[in-house]
Amino acid sequence: MTIDQESVKGNDPEKAVISAALTGALTTRDQCEAIPYTPQEIAEDAAAARENGAAVAHIHARTDNGSPTFDEEIYQAVHDEVRDRTDILVNFSTGALHEPVESRIEYVEGVQPDIAALNMGSMNYAKYSESREDFVFDMVFENPFNEIRDLLQAMNESGVKPELECFDTGHVGNIRPFLKSGDLEPPLNFSLIMGVLGGIPP
């Protein structure tokens, strides 16, 4: 099965969609003092991003101490705080380590963001320090097809647009069975993440 070019072509090649990734997945204030943690801080940054031309805010929810979380109440609070301040499109992460797919589905169905990131394949995921000559972190980011399908179907049923997160060329090809099954329908929304060790180089 080939991918129809019409299914991925934008309406206007001269336009770009700016997506502001406000929190990062694992970044802490020890690494960057500006990282927002609380729903209010995230919402303020989302509003500022919108004022500066961003159309989308990509968000990984945090606890007040900065730990990653998939707590539905926190995601709901983030969503509500953002909506109180701006009309930016809200894009929530669904990627996680050791987090059951059921809990990620639960918050997507409950909060119903405009967009949810859908990681399209498994990979080694690491950060290497040249100065230390060692890995800062080193993990396997698991996204089996059955979990991709379950998340995608939950997004479809909840009216949430999937953003197809592709860290490598094989992840782009992984859309084929979902196009064939009808779980994915054009127009498709891709996010091509380059430069992560374990994925495609920049």
pLDDT digits (tens, 9 = 90+) for 10-41: 567 778 899 999 999 888 999 899 999 999 99
Full-model pTM: 0.90
Which residue, chain included where needed, has tokens 């080694």?
124
16-192 fold: TIM Barrel (3.20.20)
Within 13 Å, how many C-alpha atoms sit on residue 109's CB side? 12
SS3 90: strand
Q: How confident is the model at residue 97 (pLDDT cuts 50, 70, 90)?
A: confident
User: How many Cβ atoms sit within 10 Å of the Cβ of residue 26?
Assistant: 15
Pair 8, 188: CB distance under 8 Å: yes
Among 68, 46, 66, residue whose Cα is nearest residue 57: 46
Torsion over CA: 23, 24, 25, 26 (sign): negative
pLDDT of 102-125, one tens digit each? 999 999 999 999 999 999 999 999
What residue ranges do the domains of the chain occupy? Answer: 16-192
No. of H helices and E strands in the chain? 6, 8
Q: What is the largest CA-CA distance in the chain?
A: 48
